[in-house]
Every structure is written in C-alpha cells, then in structure tokens.
Amino acid sequence: MKRKLVSIVLATAMTASLVACGSSSSDTTTDTGSATEEKAEESTEETAESTETAEATESGDVANSEKPLVWFNRQPSNSSTGELDMDALNYNDKTYYVGFDANQGAELQGQMVVEYLEAHADEIDRNGDGIIGYVLAIGDIGHNDSIARTRGVRSALGTGIETDGAIDSTPAGTNVDGTATVVQDATIELDGTSYTVRELASQEMKNSAGATWDAATAGNAIGTWSASFGDQIDIVISNNDGMGMSMFNAWSKENAVPTFGYDANSDAVAAIAEGYGGTISQHADVQAYLTLRVLRNLLDGVDVDTGIGTPDDAGNVLSDTDYKYVEEERSYYALNLAVTADNYENFMDATQTYAPVSTQLDSTAHPTKNVWLDIYNASDNFLSATYQPLLQNYDDLLNLNVEYIGGDGQTESNITNRLGNPSQYDAFAINMVKTDNAASYTALLDQ
C-alpha cells in the first residue's frame, strides 16, 4: 500500500515538473521545484524522497524534439501547390502555425481597390483612353500569402483567369496590349460609364541574389514601366507595403497615382495622408502575441487557449473578430482590417501591442524561459519594422527571453547555422526562407 502511494506521488511530481519545466540546464529557475515540493508535502512521510526525485527530474533535459515549436509568417507548405506540410505542422504535439487569414485579407484588398475606383470615378482614367490600367508588384510566387493577394486583386477587378477552380496567380510580365494569357481584360461600370480594366504589367519582385518581396526591385520596376507607358498607369497595386512604398516614393506620389499595399506598416499608414491609396492590416499585433503566447502556454503546461480564447490569470484575452483557429491545420490565423483614408489615424503606430492582451504576466507563475526565434530576412520591411518590434514588446509581458536571429532572406543555412545548440532553448519560433524547408529545422531538433 505504502509503496504504491509513494510511486503515485513520485509520478505526479515528475509529470508536474516535466510539463511545467521544459527548461534547459542553463535555466536557473527554481519555481517548478517548489511546485513539485508542494505536491510532495501533501504526503508528509515521503517529502525528502520526493524532493530528491523532483530535483533529479528537473536537471534532466527535455529532448529538443519534444519542445514547443511555432512556425510563423511562412506556413510550412509546398511552394508550387500551396498544399500544407502536415508533417511539419504536426512535428510534435506542441507544434503550431501562426499567421493570418490570407483569403479574407486578399478579398479585402481587392474590395478596397474597387471601392476606391467607385469613389473616384471622375478622375481615375488619367489619360482618358477608357481603360483603367494597373500594375501589380508580386512578392514571392511560391508564398501562399502572396499568391492569395494576387488572386484577390484579380478576382475583385475581374482580370483573373480561372484554371482548375483557382485564379491563376502567374505574373503577366508586360501586357500593355492586353494579350497576356494569364490575365484578361475586364469591364467595370463606374458612375454610368463603362471602362476596360487591364493589368498592364506584373512581375515577381525578386532581386538577383534571390531575395523575394524585394522593395528595391519594385522601385526599379515602376521606373521601367512608367518610362514606357506611364500615362496608362491609373493604379499601382502591391502584394505588400514594402514594395508599394518603394513604388510610391519612386513614382506614384509625384504623379498622384493611387497606390495600394498590404501590412499597414507605420510608414505606409502615414503616407495615406499624402495620397497612398490604402493598405490592409494583417493584425500583426495579434499575430506577434499569438506567436509567443502559444509558446508560453506550452511551456507552462496549460491549455493552449489560455490568454487567447480564454482569459488568463491577468485578464488577457482575444475575441473571435481578432483571429480564428483551424484545428485540422494546427494554425492560428489573425483576421485582417482595411486601412484607408477613412480610418488610418487609428493605425499610425504599427508596433503598439494590442490593448486586450497587453497585461504583464506574473513572473512567479510564469517564470522566464528561453526562446530561439528567427526572422527569415532581416531587411524585410514588414517583419523588421512591424513584426519584430511587436515581438519585442510582448516578450517582456510574457516573461520570455527571446534570442532574435535575422536571416539574409536567401538561404536557409544562413539561419540554421545559427541554431548550433538547440538544447540551450526551451522553445522555438521559426520563420523559414522557403515554405518547403521545414525539415531543415526539424532535422536539427531531432539530433
């Protein structure tokens, strides 16, 4: 009888410390020890023995392959077909993805452009040729967010061509004469006048070294396009603000051509006052929170929904208009908001934490843990100007000691080389260069 009781107490103590701990040997927290001791005290006779076992357990490392892992911003998926990489998303039972709802955002961006056309019908056709011409900057042809945005714009404007049930997202190259096969001319009725809508040109903005979503490349492209058919360009559209602002600054601001982006970076939001057409907030404040919050919960050994759909002990909670969780995909998706001349003043600081989830966690109940996190491209506008500053605000609130690694945006090994000793960390947050490459990271955790 007594034997049995002892082993039950020990088993409980071990579970408690395994779940709550997840700490590396460099982690000096003693909290889990005391939680375990509390349990041990329940059985007065065995206190000494239990404590001993608990300490032994605490110094034993959790295997890296068992640690919490969050993929973010670049969802593990096949870069040609978009099919999710469920092996990577189910790497262990503490693996999740955090991003945003790409289709809902893409639809919003398309709608925003159409609404702008409707509201500016009398001035939109700059050269009066009866054609509303637009150019489109594409971020990364193998990135599902980029693909969704290209589709969203083409779908709203009617220029998309459906193949196999989905709108073709292939760049059109130059299409001034309207003969491209991946897009088509559309017709739109504005204020009783019928116009042709034409995608004059679109291109993936990839530089010669291989970096995608490349702002400088977009700035050059608008230079080339405007030099040869500038008077035909009535609207500039971009898969993101980094490229959009580069085109705005290089050409469209001076020529008063409305330019639309995505991300709601602070500089783009401010530019709305100077004629930038609008942008979409992918609720980076919610995504950055979720990225670290999911890790926090897994490290605490509590329900993953804590502080997300269910208030935590500090009162932090999101609402269902902020995000959605798709269980089969192990993915949290923040919801998007359109940012236009009507509401941009509320979005001026993109790096401010989201008020409903901005309360500091207690450091006794949620002791400091070490997290390794990489940003795939240190010079990506959105990730460096908006996402990382947000992460840095939340890491304090969540008592996480995060090591930030900035990649070159081109090669996975530039990042993986800097995960030399995963055992030093309690959890990982990964932003891949290429969405197909999850295994380059999990291989390191498997060792």
Nearer to Ca ion, 127 or 360 (CB): 127
**In the window 67-96, what residues touch ligand BGC (CB under 6 A)?**
73-74
**Residue 96 CB, nearest approach to ligand BGC (Å):** 17
**Spatial distance between the Cα atoms of 408 and 412, rounded to a whole number of angstroms:** 9
Contacted by 289, from ligand BGC, Ca ion, none: CB < 5 to 8 Å by type: none
User: Binding residues for Ca ion, per CB under 5 A?
Assistant: 125, 127, 129, 131, 234
135, 220 Cβ separation under 8 angstroms: no
Q: In whole angstroms, how close is the CB of 202 to ligand BGC at the nearest point?
A: 17
* Residue 213 sits in the site that holds ligand BGC (CB under 6 A): yes
Secondary structure (DSSP) of 275-300: TEEEEEE--HHHHHHHHHHHHHHHHH
Question: Considering only residues 248, 251, 262, 347, which one is a binding residue for ligand BGC as defined by CB under 6 A?
Answer: 262
Which of ligand BGC, Ca ion, none is residue 382 near (CB under 5 to 8 Å by kind)?
Answer: ligand BGC
The interface partner of residue 129, options being Ca ion, ligand BGC, none and the CB cut-off 5 to 8 Å by kind, is Ca ion
263 binding partner (options Ca ion, ligand BGC, none; Cβ < 5 to 8 Å by kind)? ligand BGC
Tokens matching residue 320: 């269902």
Q: Is 240 in the site for ligand BGC (CB under 6 A)?
A: yes
Q: Out of 71, 332, 382, 425, which residue is the one contacting ligand BGC (CB under 6 A)?
A: 382
Piece in contact with ligand BGC (CB under 6 A), picked from 79-87, 350-358, 380-388, 438-446: 380-388
Alpha helices in 236-373 (DSSP H): 241-247, 266-271, 284-300
Would you say 134 or 382 has its CB closer to ligand BGC? 382
Q: Closest separation between CB of residue 440 and ligand BGC, Å?
A: 16
Q: Token digits for 302?
A: 């509590």
Stretch that binds ligand BGC, among 321-329, 334-342, 361-369, 375-383 (CB under 6 A): 375-383
Instruction: Pick the closer one to ligand BGC by CB: 32 or 212.
Output: 212
DSSP string, 5-61: HHHHHHHHHHHHHHHHH---TT----HHHHHHHHHHHHSGGGHHHHHHHHHHHHHSP
Half-sphere exposure for 27 (CA within 13 Å, toward CB) = 27
Q: Which does 125 bind (CB under 5 to 8 A by kind): Ca ion, ligand BGC, none?
A: Ca ion
Q: Which is nearer to ligand BGC, 145 or 322 (CB)?
A: 145
Alpha-carbon gap, residue 77 to 434, rounded angstroms? 9
The only residue of 160, 171, 242, 277 in contact with ligand BGC, by rule CB under 6 A: 242
Q: Which is nearer to ligand BGC, 213 or 248 (CB)?
A: 213
Hunting for tokens 């469209």 — which residue is that? 252
User: Do 72 and 372 meet the contact criterion of CB atoms below 8 Å apart?
Assistant: no
Structure tokens at 47: 């206190």
Q: Give the C-alpha separation, 209 to 397, whole Å.
A: 38
Q: Could you give the C-alpha distances from 408 to 4, 58, 242, in angstroms and in order?
A: 57, 37, 16
Nearer to Ca ion, 130 or 210 (CB): 130
Nearer to ligand BGC, 22 or 139 (CB): 139
Residue 83 buriedness (CB in 10 A; 0-12 / 13-18 / 19+):
exposed
Binding mask 135-174 for ligand BGC (x = CB under 6 A): ----x-----x-----------------------------
Q: Given candidates 46, 125, 199, 263, which one binds ligand BGC under the rule CB under 6 A? A: 263
Q: How far apart are CA 374 and CA 255, in angstroms?
A: 39
Among residues 125, 380, 426, 436, the one that binds ligand BGC under rule CB under 6 A: 380
> Minimal distance in Å, beta carbon 74 to ligand BGC?
5
By the rule CB under 6 A, 374 interacts with ligand BGC: no
Residue 266 within binding range of ligand BGC, rule CB under 6 A: no
C-alpha distances (whole Å) from 317 to each of 27, 60, 303, 354, 379 are 28, 34, 13, 10, 32
Which residue's Cβ lies closest to Ca ion? Answer: 125
SS3 232: helix
131 binds, among ligand BGC, Ca ion, none (CB under 5 to 8 A by kind): Ca ion
How far, in Å, CA of 274 to CA of 257, rounded? 11
Q: Which of 245, 252, 123 lies closest to 193 in space, CA to CA?
A: 123
Binding-site ranges for ligand BGC (CB under 6 A):
73-74, 139, 145, 213, 240, 242, 262-263, 380, 382-383
